[in-house]
Structure 1
Amino acid sequence: MTPTKQHHLHVLLLLLICSSSIVVAAKHNTAVLCHPDQASSLLQLKQSFIDVDAKLASWRAGSDCCHWEGVTCDRDSGRVISLDLGGFNLMSRHLHPAIFNLTSLRNLSLAHNDFGTATLPTHGFEQLPNIIHLNFSSTSFFGQFPVGIARLKNLATLDFSDNFDLYLQEPNFQTFMANLSYLRELRLDAVDISTSGSNWSIVLADSVPQLQILSLFLCGMSGPIHHSFSRLRSLTIINLRNNERLTGKVPEFFVEFSSLRILDISGCSFRGQFPTKIILMKSLRVIDLSESPKLSVCLPDFPVGNNLEVLNLAGTTLSCDIRSSLTNLKSLKNLGLSTSEVSMELSLIVHNLSSLNELQLYGGEMENTILSWIGNLTQLTYLMLYMAMISLNQCPLGLAI
């Protein structure tokens, strides 16, 4: 082959390679546009909202809905896979059924928008079989919890917290939870599930074995915590606050939850001695036992390096001397105590707690000089004196009550 022909062949090969690279790059960088039916459903949803802060201004007919605020599409199909309108300050009087046309959704959040005590549709959610994360917290919905959610078998996160007028009656809690075996996070704060009776802990143990976050504040549960609950060893957060009909002893098996970071059982009716082993768990950052007058607590001497940040014992009964117990709690930011039992020792108890931001003192009569040491807590930003007998002339300079 002559040098000229060989040169031409090299040039031709180079052009072919460059052309192929350009085609591949073009394919890689070209995203599929939003499906017209998806855009149409979103625009119907938009029409149902009063958009106070113009958060949905980008939702315009004729534009690619995959670039709209709060919308994420699958790059290959162009279908909407995430709709996150959380905190958009939207208002509506109903949940528009067009939302159930977005059948490829994996994430749906309408959290912190005002639906003005509208009722949720009984059916419709089952049309979203791919949903993994569902967040309707603080949305002011009213009435029966939607049964269609019970059929969303892929759910990992379910958050309907702070909807004080929602309740779950039909189906019952056991039937509702039966198919949600992949659930990792369950937040139903203030949703009335009182019809579950005392079986709620058994239901959770049987239905959601991989649960990591459980928040059931003010849900109307009753009875003691069943031993089967001990199977939920992946739990990192347990919030059962203000369930006044929860009774019995605090289970010692909580100590087996090696990843537990937050334990809040305040405002319940647990009784007896709180297990000291739980208090010493290395993983715990928050322990709130407050407003539990039938619960006795004996604090151990915490070891050096303890990372506890919140310890609230206000309204409990201290059953031992705690003057030296808190010395090593260098990370403690929030402390609550019943002053009726420790009022004369408070300065000794807290003087080393240099990181303290919040201090709650519950009940009891304070001596004239008892608050003179408050000024030494230089990081303190919040002081709560609950049912404490103190006159204003006893307060140190600069402290307002």
Structure 2
Amino acid sequence: MPSVYFSSKPTAMGVSLLSRSFFLFLFHFHSTLSSSSPPPLCAHHQSLSLLQFKQSFSIQTLPYDDLTQYPKTESWKEGTDCYFWDGVTCDLQTGLVTGLDLSSSMLHGTLHSNNSLFSLHHLCKLDLSYNDFSTSNISSRFGQFSNLTHLNLSWSSFTGQVPSEISHLSKLVSLDLSGNFGPSLEPISFDKIVRNLTKLRELDLSSVDMSLVVPDSWMNLSSSLSSLKLLDCGLQGKLPSSVGKLKHLRYLGLGLNNFTGSIPYDFEQLTELVSLDLSANAYLRPEPVSLYKIVQNLTKLRELALDEVDMSLVAPNSLTNLSSSLSSLSLFNCGLQGKFPGNIFLLPNLETLYLSDNEGLTGSFPSSNLSNVLSMLVLSNTRISLYLENDLISNLKSLRVMRLGNSSIIRSDLALLGNLTQLTGLDLSNNNLSGQIPSSLGNLIQLTNLDLSNNILSGNIPSSLFALPSLQDLDLHSNNLRGNISEFQHAILYYLDLSNNILSGNLPSSLFALPSLKHLDLHSNNLRDDEIWFVDCISEKIVMSMNMEEMKEIERAEGEDTEEVRDEPEDIKRIAPWTKQITARGIVASIAIGIIYSVIVSAALLAFVFLRTWTKLLSKAGIVTSPFTRQENTIVQTYAES
């Protein structure tokens, strides 16, 4: 690398450059003072069109948690130069708008065909992805942008038929209509697109309904294509061998369709391929020879997904020669049987490994020499054995997801899992794990999902689990866990299952202040309470239950109040009279809960706390009262939610 020296003495050339720069600065400063403002860099009529476009939409946050959203159009102000507006690109010579990038701009509303957007005839790049255009039809006027090279309308709630006018965009090199509300593409329109868009390098029509398109019509696809993604398009029939002629193809996604037969031998000619996704084609059945050749020839492959493809004819060792560049291998639920090749576990660039739900798949997962970038390991429902001990765990520092439910864990030291501080998901269910849940799991502050259900774990549940700041899903059902349930330190939990244990004591008060809770199951424990409460709320989908002894108590109480009618059908016999369904205490409770509900927590949980407190107070006052019946509970719940 050449050295760079700085001299303290200016050279003659340096003085000349400094003088010229200073002169230009003085000239610019003088001209600024002596003349009016310079003309705008963006033509005035283009600014007006953009402002009209802005006014036709509102700004709303979209439900994309993993997406950075920013309202770019808020920087669009009347009287300012649109050259400096967010997302706008102007040609400095003509002042015309040539690019519009409004991806993730929180736009909400209908995009009509008379929108001022379509007056920006000189657009070369247009990106409207990740907005909400309220199931607008894709306008045929998009076909008027004759200079377009890039068009992205993905994930923006478009629907209707893809207009054949898209085929007029002969300069397009990238077209993305994916992720919308099932727009459809007729065979004639598709044929026009593949015949006329000869410069296409990237085509993504995922989630576009192409069920009427015959795969053989792909033969006219641009030979320049480097990326072809047609996932979830309703495509059917045999995979077209003509795909093998796309020599420049690097990304091929054909998953979630209805392809049948085997993988064509021509696929082995796609030697530039780095990503191949044929997943969720349940009737696709690779032949051993064709798969072997694909594995042998696709030496640049980094991602391979054959999930839910019928690979029952394929021996796992046919995958032995997978590219050393492989970073992601996904083969779950594809009927693989036999010993999985051990060398794949040791691929140096492996980041993601999904082998779950292949119950006949055997092998031994190594404890050392693993990829130091392995982030997802999913071996659930396989017979691949492993030792969950120090040697292995110390080699998994980058792991984010570990799913080993119903696998073959030979020995384990669960306390060491607390060292995997990058974990966001951990599933060790159905493994006959014994001992106590280690408090070191409280170190996993990024953990969102924890499943230790269907084991024989004993002792108390560590309070550190209830303090995990990111935990949303906790499943510990069907163990031998004892003791009290600790207070919850964070309020984002939405799924909690502690059923079929030996837990005792009162429920923590913080349980009833979890605003996101959607599922709660506590049945078959020794928890103390004055009420059995079953809630199956359609709006909130909460399921709560207590111990069976209290349930029997209510059933006995209801039995005393039920009118028996011999001649009525069985399903009508045990209906309590209306005087037992609508009671004074039920009405008072309903009104109180309904008032408080508007400012506190969900009706289901609030009602539970209120009625429990009611019966406790009466009991302490020496007043004998029976628990609220199911009919009263229903009235209370209905009124509170209304």
Q: If the length of structure 1 is used for normalisation, what is the TM-score?
A: 0.77
Deviation readout 1:291-341 (Å, 9 max, x if unpaired): 323576722325977111111111235645223387433321111113441
Give the aligned partner of residue 72 of structure 2.
55
Give the aligned partner of residue 241 of structure 1.
279
1:382 has 2:428 as partner: no
1:261 CA drift (Å): 2.2
1:394 has 2:463 as partner: no
Equivalent of 1:46 in 35, 50, 54: 54
Give the aligned partner of residue 198 of structure 1.
237
1:72 CA drift (Å): 0.6
Whole-angstrom distance in 1 between the partners of 2:374 and 2:392: 10
1:109 has 2:127 as partner: yes
Amino acid of the structure 1 residue aligned with 2:180: N
Equivalent of 1:259 in 286, 293, 300: 300
Give the aligned partner of residue 105 of structure 2.
88
1:226 has 2:250 as partner: no
Amino acid of the structure 1 residue aligned with 2:177: F
1:68 CA drift (Å): 1.6
Give the aligned partner of residue 354 of structure 1.
397
1:387 CA drift (Å): 8.0
1:78 CA drift (Å): 2.0
| Kept in 2: contact 1:301–1:324 (CA 8 A) | no
Whole-angstrom distance in 1 between the partners of 2:405 and 2:426: 11
| Kept in 1: contact 2:106–2:132 (CA 8 A) | yes
Give the aligned partner of residue 153 of structure 2.
136
Whole-angstrom distance in 1 between the partners of 2:377 and 2:158: 35
Give the aligned partner of residue 185 of structure 2.
168
Amino acid of the structure 2 residue aligned with 1:143: G
- Percent identity, aligned pairs only? 31
Give the aligned partner of residue 437 of structure 2.
none
Structure 1 residues 216 and 135: alpha-carbon distance in aligned structure 2, compared to 1, 3 A threshold: farther
What SS does the aligned partner of 1:100 have? helix
What SS does the aligned partner of 1:177 have? helix
What SS does the aligned partner of 1:287 have? strand
Whole-angstrom distance in 1 between the partners of 2:84 and 2:165: 30
Give the aligned partner of residue 210 of structure 1.
248
Whole-angstrom distance in 2 between the partners of 1:103 and 1:297: 60
Whole-angstrom distance in 2 between the partners of 1:228 and 1:307: 27
* RMSD between aligned residues: 3.9
Amino acid of the structure 2 residue aligned with 1:345: L
1:56 CA drift (Å): 1.3
| Kept in 1: contact 2:277–2:306 (CA 8 A) | yes
1:109 CA drift (Å): 1.1
Whole-angstrom distance in 2 between the partners of 1:383 and 1:44: 50
Amino acid of the structure 1 residue aligned with 2:294: F
What SS does the aligned partner of 1:394 have? strand
Whole-angstrom distance in 2 between the partners of 1:357 and 1:259: 25
Deviation readout 1:367-386 (Å, 9 max, x if unpaired): 89686764454543311468
Structure 1 residues 270 and 310: alpha-carbon distance in aligned structure 2, compared to 1, 3 A threshold: same
| Kept in 1: contact 2:295–2:323 (CA 8 A) | no
1:57 CA drift (Å): 2.4
1:272 has 2:313 as partner: yes
Whole-angstrom distance in 2 between the partners of 1:275 and 1:104: 55
What SS does the aligned partner of 1:168 have? coil
| Kept in 2: contact 1:190–1:219 (CA 8 A) | no
After superposition, where does 1:317-332 map in structure 2 within 5 Å?
319-324=361-366, 327-332=369-374
Whole-angstrom distance in 1 between the partners of 2:42 and 2:411: 71
Structure 1 residues 116 and 270: alpha-carbon distance in aligned structure 2, compared to 1, 3 A threshold: farther
| Kept in 2: contact 1:190–1:217 (CA 8 A) | no
Whole-angstrom distance in 1 between the partners of 2:283 and 2:262: 9
After superposition, where does 1:58-73 map in structure 2 within 5 Å?
58-73=75-90
| Kept in 1: contact 2:163–2:189 (CA 8 A) | no
Q: Tell me which of the two structures has the higher relative contact order, counting C-alpha pairs closer than 8 angstroms and 6 or more residues apart.
A: 1
Give the aligned partner of residue 328 of structure 2.
286
Whole-angstrom distance in 2 between the partners of 1:105 and 1:191: 25
Q: Where does structure 1 lack aligned partners over 5 or more consecutive residues?
A: 1-13
Whole-angstrom distance in 1 between the partners of 2:126 and 2:430: 44
Whole-angstrom distance in 1 between the partners of 2:58 and 2:367: 55
Q: Where does structure 2 lack aligned partners over 5 or more consecutive residues?
A: 1-15, 29-37, 61-69, 215-235, 433-452, 466-473, 476-642
1:99 has 2:117 as partner: yes
Give the aligned partner of residue 7 of structure 1.
none
Give the aligned partner of residue 306 of structure 1.
348
Equivalent of 1:178 in 195, 218, 224: 195
Whole-angstrom distance in 2 between the partners of 1:43 and 1:387: 59
1:69 CA drift (Å): 1.5
| Kept in 1: contact 2:282–2:310 (CA 8 A) | yes
What SS does the aligned partner of 1:272 have? coil
Q: If the length of structure 2 is used for normalisation, what is the TM-score?
A: 0.51
Structure 1 residues 93 and 175: alpha-carbon distance in aligned structure 2, compared to 1, 3 A threshold: same
1:149 has 2:163 as partner: no
Structure 1 residues 340 and 144: alpha-carbon distance in aligned structure 2, compared to 1, 3 A threshold: same
Deviation readout 1:42-77 (Å, 9 max, x if unpaired): 233223211347531232344322222210112222
1:191 CA drift (Å): 2.7
| Kept in 2: contact 1:73–1:80 (CA 8 A) | yes
Equivalent of 2:96 in 76, 79, 86: 79
1:181 CA drift (Å): 4.0
Whole-angstrom distance in 2 between the partners of 1:67 and 1:234: 40
Whole-angstrom distance in 1 between the partners of 2:189 and 2:266: 19
Give the aligned partner of residue 439 of structure 2.
none
